[in-house]
Structure 1
Amino acid sequence: MSNLLHLSPAGSGVHPDLLKSAGGFAWWYLDLIDEQGDGLVCIWSFGLPFLPGYASASRRGQPQLPEHRPSLNLASFKGGKLDFYVLQEFEPEEVFWDAAAEGDRWTFGQSTLESIQDGEERRVKLDLHLRMPDGQIATALMEARGLAVHHSGQKPDAAHRIIDPLPDHDWVPLLCNARASATLHAHGQTSTFEGRVYHDRNGGQRPMHELGIDVWTWGRLAFPSRELIYYVLHPTDASRPAQTLVLEIDAGGQARLVPDLQLRERRPAKNLGGLRWWPEQVLEREGQAVITIDNRQRLDSGPFYIRSAADARDLERDESARGISEVCDPARIDLDIHRPLVRMRVMQNTRPNSMWLPLFTGPRQGRVSRLVTSFLPGVNAAQQEQPAPRTREQR
Structure 2
Amino acid sequence: MGGSQPARGPDFSRVVPANGYAWWYVDALSDDGQNGIAIIAFIGSVFSPYYAFARRKQPADPLNHCAINVAVYRKGGDHWAMTERPRGAVSRAMDTFAVGPSHLSWDGKSLTINVDEISVPIPGRLRGTIRLLPKAITQQSFLLNEEGHHQWWPIAPCARVQVRLDHPRLSWQGDGYFDMNCGDAPLEQGFSDWQWSRGAMQDGTAILYEAERRDGTRVDLAMTFDPNGQMQAFDPPPMVDLSRTGWRVARSVRSDSAAKIVKTLEDAPFYARSVVSAKLLGEPVTLMHESLSLDRFKMPIVQAMLPFRMPRARR
Both proteins in one fold, TM over 0.5: yes
Q: Does 2:224 align with 1:228?
A: no
TM-score of the two chains, using structure 2 as the length reference: 0.86
Q: Which residue of 2 aligns with 1:42?
A: 39
Contact in 1 for aligned 2:38/2:70 (Cα 8 Å): yes
- Structure 1 distance, partners of 2:50, 2:110, is 34
- CA offset at residue 322 of structure 1? 2.6
* 1:210 counterpart residue number: 189
Shift of 1:261: 2.2
Name 1:385's counterpart in structure 2: none
- Asked if residue 173 in structure 1 is aligned to residue 154 in structure 2, the reply is yes
Aligned amino acid, residue 249 of structure 1:
F
The change in CA–CA distance for 1:334 and 1:243 in structure 2 (over 3 A counts) is closer
Aligned residue in 2 for 1:77: 73
Which residue, 132, 142, 145 being the options, matches 2:133?
Answer: 145
Partner Cα distance (1:82, 1:202) in 2: 29
Written as runs of structure 1 = structure 2, the 5 A alignment for 1:151-300 is 167-186=148-167, 189-211=168-190, 213-238=191-216, 240=217, 242-258=218-234, 260-262=235-237, 264-267=238-241, 270-278=244-252, 281-283=253-255, 289=256, 293-295=259-261, 297-300=263-266
Q: Decide whether the 8 Å contact of 2:206 with 2:222 is kept in 1.
A: yes
Identify which of 84, 93, 97 aligns with 1:98: 93
Larger radius of gyration: 1
What is the alpha-carbon distance in structure 1 between the residues aligned to residue 112 and residue 127 of structure 2?
Answer: 13
Q: Could you tell me which residue of structure 2 aligns to residue 124 of structure 1?
A: 111
TM-score (ref. length: structure 1)? 0.70
Q: Distance in 1 between matches of 2:159 and 2:240?
A: 31
% identity of equivalent residues: 22
Pick from 301, 307, 310 the counterpart of residue 343 of structure 1. Answer: 307
With over 3 angstroms needed to count, the CA separation of the structure-2 counterparts of 1:82 and 1:231, relative to structure 1, is farther
Deviation at 1:335, TM superposition (A): 2.9
Distance in 1, Cα, partners of 2:30 & 2:38: 12
* 1:53 aligned residue: 50
1:175-212 superposed Cα distances (whole Å, 9 cap, x missing partner): 132222111232xx31112001100100001111111x
Instruction: Give me the whole-angstrom Cα distance separating, in 2, the residues matched to 1:292 and 1:61.
Output: 47
1:169/1:204 contact within 8 Å kept? yes
Report the counterpart of residue 378 of structure 1 in structure 2: none
Measure, in 1, the Cα distance between the counterparts of 2:113 and 2:154: 18
2:296 equivalent in structure 1: 332
Contact 1:112/1:128, CA 8 A, preserved across alignment = yes
CA–CA separation in structure 1 for the residues paired with 2:59 and 2:296:
17
* Aligned equivalents of 1:132, 1:334: Cα separation in 2: 25
Q: SS where residue 67 of structure 1 aligns?
A: helix
Task: Find the aligned partners of 1:131 and 1:11 in 2 and give their Cα distance.
Answer: 35
Q: Deviations over 1:228-280 (max 9, x none)?
A: 01101123334x3x22111211122222222x224x333465434343223xx
Asked if 1:311 corresponds to 2:289, the answer is no
8 Å CA contact 2:63, 2:90 repeated in 1? no
Instruction: State the superposition RMSD in angstroms.
Output: 2.9
Residue 29 of structure 1 deviates from its aligned partner by 0.3
Secondary structure at the residue paired with 2:203?
coil
C-alpha distance after superposition, 1:314-368 (max 9, x if no partner): 462xx43333110112232253211232111123333xxxxxxxxxxxxxxxxxx
Instruction: Name the aligned partner's letter for residue 149 of structure 1.
Output: I
Which structure is higher in RCO with an 8 Å CA cutoff and minimum separation 6?
1
